[in-house]
Each structure stands twice: as C-alpha cells, then as structure tokens.
Structure 1
Amino acid sequence: MSAYALAFTLVFIAITIFVSMWQKLGLEREITIGTIRSSIQLLLVGYVLHFIFHTDAPILIVLIVGVMITVASWNASQRGKGLSGIRWRIALSITVTEGLIMVLLLSLRIIEPTPQYIIPISGMTIGNAMVVSSLFLNQMKRDVQSSKGEIEALLSLGANVRQSIQDCMKRAVKASMIPTIDGMKTVGLVQLPGMMTGMIVAGADPVEAVRYQILIMFAFTSSAGITSILLSLLSYKLWFTKKASLRSL
C-alpha cells in the first residue's frame, strides 16, 4: 500500500468523528488521540520489527516480548484497581502462558525459530491473554459484589477463603473464556480473522493461510484457559483482608 493510499484511510476516521459530532457523543477528542497514537505506535513497531528481522538477535526477541508482556499487564491491571499486587500476578500469568505456548510451538516444530514467526504469534498470544485477564477481573468484581452475603456466610460457617470464593472463581474463569470459544465456533463463517486475511492480501495461498489461522485459534483457546486459571489461583486471596474478611473495592 502506498503512502498516498494510506492517507485516504483517514476518511474512515472522519466519518467516525462526524457521527460523534452528529449524535453529540463527545468522542471527537478520544478518537483523534486514538488515531494519532495508533498510527505512531504501529509505524514505530514496523521499523523496530524491520530492524529485528534483519539482525536476527535472540536478545532483541526476548526484549520485545518482555515489553509486550509489561504493557499488557499494565493495561489489564487497570481492571483490578484496589487489588494490591494484581499487576505482577497478571504479568506472571501471561508470562507462563506465553512461555508454554512458545515452547510447544518450537519443540514440536510447528513454527520456525525465527523472529518472523515468534514475535507476531507471541504478540497475538499475549494480546489474547491480556483480554482474558481483563474479562476475568471484571467478572470477579461483579460476582464478588453480588455474592457478598453468600461468601460471608460461608466464612462464618468455617470455610476458608478459597472455599468461600470458589464459585465466583469458576464463573469468572468461564466468563473470560467464552469470547474465545465463541470465536472458534464462528470463525470463517461470521468473520475472516486478521492473520488469515493479512496473509491472503499479501498473496499467500488461502489454504496455507487457513492452516496458520487454525494454529492461532487453537493457541488462543489454550492461552485463555491457562491465563484465566493461573490468574484465579494467584489472585483470589487479594479479595480478602489479612483477617479473612472481604475487601471493600
């Protein structure tokens, strides 16, 4: 795509701003900031990846994956405000998930051990884990609040904190995984995912593009399960005080 053609894509932003002004949504500033930030971030990433792909240095791959995990953890932790230590727990969950997925992909020789494969797939895996973490925390907040009486009753009857909040954890894990599972059910029928579409637009064989998309969908499902379960096990105590009473968030 030429720079001239890319500039014309701003017409989509103009339409969105017009709709916001027409309906008095007040989103013009946020849309403008989002447009500028996303453009700068993507262009910078493009140049960074161009450099890394040509140097093929393992330390740079580790560095960029580390940055992805850090940013993802910070973003997801915004959903858990009031929970001390939630950020490093999210980071640990995402790191373990990314590590397991990548070890399996490389050890089974599903992908080549090159930056061209490792970085994009890592980015998609980490991004999916971030979304799952956010969904888990949102659901836990709602569920703990609505089940406050039940949790306190269980505590008063002698249940420990894990037992009293177990049902909330299960519901939150399930809720965080549902979008990924639903996406598997409709992929190819309702939507053509980004990786597959990008490969086809770039001229790849559609069948080959589908194979890689299947890989991504299966990896997403695994990462969703691992991330949500790990985060639930690492964070459930944060919903209680040292005296085993529910926190007020």
Structure 2
Amino acid sequence: MNSVDVSYWSLALALSLVFVAITISSKQKLGLTKDIIGSVIRTVIQLTVVGYLLYYIFDLNHVILTLAMVMIIIYNASRQANKRNPNGKKKFIQSFLAIFLATSLTLTVLVLSGAIKFIPSQLIPITGMIASNSMVAIGLSYREMNSLFRDQRQQVLEKLALGAPVNLAAASIVRQSIRTAMQPTINSAKTVGLVSLPGMMSGLIFAGVNPIFAIKYQIMVMFMLLSATSLGAVIAAYFSYRNYFNDRAQLDFEENAD
C-alpha cells in the first residue's frame, strides 16, 4: 500500500487556492469574504481536534467511546438539520429521531451483513457519511415543506373546510417534500463513476487500494446513502408536517423569525 502524507508546506501552498474564492467574492461583491475566511478557520480547527480525538479512540478501540462518538455525530447532524427548518414551531426531537433511526437502522444492516465491522475506524466514518447526508436531505425536506405550505395555503384550507383530515390535506405536500429530499442522492447515484469519483472510492484509490475493491465499497456507500436519506426524509416529513396544524386540526402556519 502506498504511504499517503501531506506536508505542512503543501497545506500552506494549498491555502493559496482559498484566495481564488476570496478574490471572486471581492471582485463580484458577493459579501462572502468573511464567511469564507471563517469557514476555513473552523475547518482547520474542527478537523485538527477531531483528528486527534479519533486517533485516541481508534487506539483504545473501546465500545463505549465508539458509541459515544456515534451519538455526538448524530446529535450535531440533528441540530444542524433542525436549524434548517424555517417553521417557527419546529421541534429538535423530530430531527433527532429521524437521523437517529435512519442512521441506526442502516448501520445495523451494514454490521450484521458483514459489510463493515463494529470497530471505531469503520463505524465512526460510516456514521459521519450517513448522518451528514441524512442531515442535508432532511433540511431540503423542511425547506420544501415550508415553501409548499406557504404557496398552497388556500388549497390546504379548502381541503380542511371540506372535511379532510390533517394527513389527507397535507399528503401531496409531504410526498413532494420527500421527493425533493431524495432527489440529490438519486441524481448522484445516476452519475457516480461517469462524472465523479466519490470520496470513499477516491480515498481508497489514493491510498493505493485496488480500484476493484474501492468500487465495491463505493457501491455499498451508495446503497446505504439511498436507504438513509429516504428513511430520514420520510420520518422527518411525517413528524414535521403536523407542526403546521394546531390541536383543532386548523392550519397554523408560522414562519421562523431566525
């Protein structure tokens, strides 16, 4: 296997690429310069801290520490997904349950099937991939649902006036929200290998692993992401649509002030 290492000098030179983005932001007056600089600083600090933490956890190979790290990842992903919900009556527990269930079910199948082992060096990175993709999908679902309830307010009110229950009045909105959440993952699956060589596959090939083995791992990743994003989107959508109605089954639309 090839030894892969990046020197600090190489990282310093690579930093110059960030100035391309900063220059574009400045020249085009996008107002993103502070965000770019802040994101770079956070990236360096967060990844450095996580890198040393993972080195410690991998070395100990302790079940409790591994599960604790998995829960930290799920919690942070849930918090970010919840922030992306424009509904003023959003509930963190809904995002947490959606990501927790989607991640847990997917990991259980992968471990029981032997696709991955219950060791920190495999479980934690896979959890990160599942939770982050679920987070993005759920965030898209929330935004689409909020937009549809705003745009289709009159249609929903008419259905309720005709005696339709809450679940029937919101059924088309829930379905479209789930479709929107799943679409990016589906589109990615259609172009993988033809347009892009995703992270898992590229990382393994870069480390010197036989491309055939890397392909099998990437296929596994696409399968698990399709499963996790669909599960997360469905659970989150069916939990959150009720936030748009009050206890008397009346539409109670409230935009988040944040």
TM-score over 0.5 for the alignment?
A: yes
Q: Match for residue 195 of structure 2?
A: 190
With the length of structure 1 as denominator, give the TM-score of the two structures. Answer: 0.97
Alignment-derived partner of residue 107 in structure 2: 102
Alignment of 1:5 onto 2:10: yes
Write the deviation string for residues 24-74 of structure 1: whole angstroms up to 9, x where unpaired: 212111110000001110111111111111000111111111111111111
Deviation at 1:14, TM superposition (A): 1.1
Match of 2:3 in 1: none
- Is the Cα contact below 8 Å between 1:83 and 1:239 reproduced in 2? no
Aligned match of 1:161: 166
Q: Is the 8 A contact 1:173 1:228 kept in 2?
A: yes
Aligned to 2:232: 227
Q: Structure 1: how far apart are the matches of 2:111 and 2:177?
A: 31
| Structure 2 counterparts to residues 140-219 of structure 1, below 5 A | 140-219=145-224
Match in the other structure for 2:54: 49
Tell me how far apart the structure 2 counterparts of residues 99 and 65 of structure 1 sit (CA, whole Å).
10
Distance 2:88 2:223 in 1: 31
1:114 and 2:119 matched: yes
What is the distance in 2 between the residues matched to 1:79 and 1:153?
29
Give the aligned partner of residue 94 of structure 2.
Answer: 89
Aligned equivalents of 2:240, 2:27: Cα separation in 1: 44
Matched, 1:77 2:93: no
Does the Cα contact within 8 Å between 2:87 and 2:146 map onto a contact in 1? Answer: no
> Matches of 2:82 and 2:117 in 1, distance apart?
33
Amino acid corresponding to residue 152 of structure 1 in structure 2: L
SS at match of 1:9: helix
Instruction: Tell me, in whole angstroms, the C-alpha distance in 2 between the residues paired with 1:103 and 1:72.
Output: 19
Superposition CA RMSD, Å: 1.1
Whether the 8 Å contact between 1:79 and 1:137 is mirrored in structure 2 is yes
Larger RCO: Structure 1 or Structure 2 (Cα < 8 Å, ≥ 6 residues apart)? 2
Using the alignment, how far apart are the partners of 2:26 and 2:99 within structure 1?
39
Shift of 1:190: 0.8
Distance 2:29 2:150 in 1: 34
Tell me which amino acid in the other structure corresponds to 1:39: V
Could you tell me whether the CA contact under 8 Å between 1:97 and 1:226 is conserved in 2? yes
In the aligned structure 2, how far is the partner of 1:20 from the partner of 1:55? 44
Unaligned runs of 5+ in 2: 1-5
> Which runs of at least 4 in structure 1 moved beyond 6 Å after TM superposition?
none
Contact 2:85-2:142 at 8 Å conserved across structures: yes
Measured after TM superposition, the shift of residue 228 of structure 1 is: 1.0
- Give the fraction of aligned pairs with identical amino acids, expressed as a percent: 34
Could you tell me whether the CA contact under 8 Å between 1:80 and 1:86 is conserved in 2? no
